[in-house]
C-alpha cells in the first residue's frame, strides 16, 4: 500500500531532489545500486508525464500539478496493489485537476491498481470511482455502485449531498436541500442515528436506536431505519 497526499506543496521535502524523493522508497526497500535506482526513477517520471532530466531538480522548480505527479511517481515506485489518495486534487486548479484525474485513471488501467479515493467533490468522485461510500460523523451511512448511488440514494444525507451538486447550466435552478443544525461532535454524538437531529424524515426509532448498516438491494448498503420506504431524488 502507498499513499498520495492532499497538498503537493508540503508533501515533498524541499531539500531533496526528484531523484532522492522518488528513489528513497526504492533504497529503503533494498535497491542499493544507484544505477538501477536512476533507471527506475527515470521510468517512473516518464510514466507520470515528467522528463527524466528533471530528476536533479528540487520541488520549488515545479508547479502544483507537476508536484502532484512527483507524489504519484513516489507512490508507484514500489509497485503497490492499493493506493490511498487523500483529496489528491483539491489543492489544484480545475484544469490541472482534470489532468491529474485522467492520469490516475490511465495508471489504474495500465498497472491494475486499486484506489481508495477520499474526496468531498462529488463530481470528482463520480468521474473516478466505481463504488462510493458516504460517511457522516465517522460512520458509513451508505455504500453502492457509483451509478446507482447517484441516481437513487437511499439515505437522506446522501440525497442532501446530491442536491448540492451544481448543474453546468445557468437556466436550471438547483433544488438544494438545506440541512438545519450543525454537524455533531464525534466526541459527543447524539443517541440513535447520528443524522436524526438534522433529518426531516426522522421518527422516534431514529432518536433511540442506531440503524444497522444493511444490504437493501444487491451491493447497496445503507444505515437508515426508513430506507425501504423513502423515495429520494438523485442525479440523473
pLDDT on residue 164: 84
Would you state the pLDDT for residue 178? 79
Looking at residue 174, its pLDDT comes to: 66
pLDDT at 29: 94
Q: How far is CA 175 from the centre of its chain?
A: 25
pLDDT value of position 165: 81
Q: Report the alpha-carbon distance of residue 18 to residue 56 in Å, rounded.
A: 6
In angstroms, what CA-CA distances link 5 with 110, 152, 168?
A: 21, 31, 29
**pLDDT tens-digit readout, 57-94:** 999 999 999 999 999 999 999 999 999 999 999 989 98
Over the stretch 25-46, which tens digit does the pLDDT of each residue have? 999 999 999 999 999 999 999 9
Question: In the prediction, which pLDDT does 179 show?
Answer: 87
**Range 97-116 average pLDDT:** 96
Confidence band (pLDDT; 50, 70, 90) for 119? very high
By C-alpha distance, which of 29, 205, 46 is closest to 18? 46
Residue in this structure with the C-alpha cell 489504474, named with its chain if needed: 108
Q: Can you list the pairs that 136-139 forms with residues at least 24 positions away whose Cβ atoms lie under 8 Å? A: 136/183, 136/194, 136/195, 137/183, 137/184, 137/186, 137/189, 137/194, 137/195, 138/186, 139/194, 139/223
Class of the 2-128 domain? alpha beta
Q: What's the pLDDT at 64?
A: 94
Q: In the structure, what pLDDT confidence band is assigned to residue 213 with cuts at 50, 70 and 90?
A: very high
Model pLDDT, residue 175: 66
Q: What is the pLDDT averaged over residues 106-111?
A: 96
pLDDT tens, 3-29?
999 999 999 999 999 999 999 999 999
CATH 3.40.50.300 positions along the chain are 2-128
Q: Are 176 and 164 in contact (CB under 8 A)?
A: yes
User: Are 232 and 161 in contact, with CB atoms under 8 Å apart?
Assistant: no
Please, what sign has the CA dihedral across residues 138, 141, 144, 149? negative
What digits encode the pLDDT tens for the residues 154-211? 999 999 999 888 777 777 776 677 788 899 999 999 999 999 999 999 999 999 999 9
Amino acid at each position: 500500500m502507498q499513499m498520495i497526499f492532499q497538498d503537493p506543496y508540503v508533501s515533498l521535502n524541499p531539500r531533496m531532489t526528484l531523484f532522492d524523493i522518488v528513489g528513497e522508497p526504492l533504497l529503503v526497500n533494498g535497491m542499493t545500486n544507484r544505477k538501477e535506482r536512476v533507471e527506475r526513477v527515470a521510468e517512473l517520471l516518464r510514466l507520470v508525464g515528467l522528463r527524466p532530466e528533471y530528476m536533479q531538480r528540487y520541488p520549488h522548480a515545479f508547479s502544483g500539478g507537476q508536484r502532484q505527479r512527483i507524489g504519484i511517481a513516489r507512490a508507484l515506485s514500489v509497485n503497490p496493489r492499493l493506493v490511498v489518495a487523500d483529496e489528491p486534487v483539491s489543492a489544484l486548479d480545475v484544469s490541472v485537476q482534470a489532468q491529474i484525474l485522467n492520469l490516475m485513471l490511465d495508471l489504474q488501467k495500465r498497472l491494475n491498481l486499486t484506489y481508495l479515493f477520499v474526496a468531498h467533490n462529488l463530481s470528482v468522485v463520480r468521474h473516478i470511482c466505481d463504488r462510493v461510500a458516504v460517511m457522516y460523523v465517522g460512520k458509513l451511512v451508505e455504500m453502492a455502485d457509483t451509478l446507482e448511488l447517484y441516481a437513487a440514494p437511499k439515505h437522506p444525507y446522501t440525497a442532501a449531498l446530491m442536491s448540492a451538486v451544481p448543474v453546468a447550466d445557468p437556466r436550471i435552478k438547483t433544488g438544494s436541500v438545506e440541512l438545519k443544525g450543525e454537524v455533531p461532535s464525534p466526541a459527543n454524538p447524539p443517541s440513535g442515528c447520528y443524522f436524526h437531529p438534522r433529518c426531516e424524515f426522522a421518527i422516534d426509532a431514529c432518536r433511540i436506536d442506531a440503524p444497522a448498516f444493511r444490504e437493501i438491494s444487491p451491493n447497496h448498503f445503507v444505515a437508515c431505519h426508513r430506507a425501504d420506504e423513502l423515495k429520494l431524488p438523485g442525479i440523473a
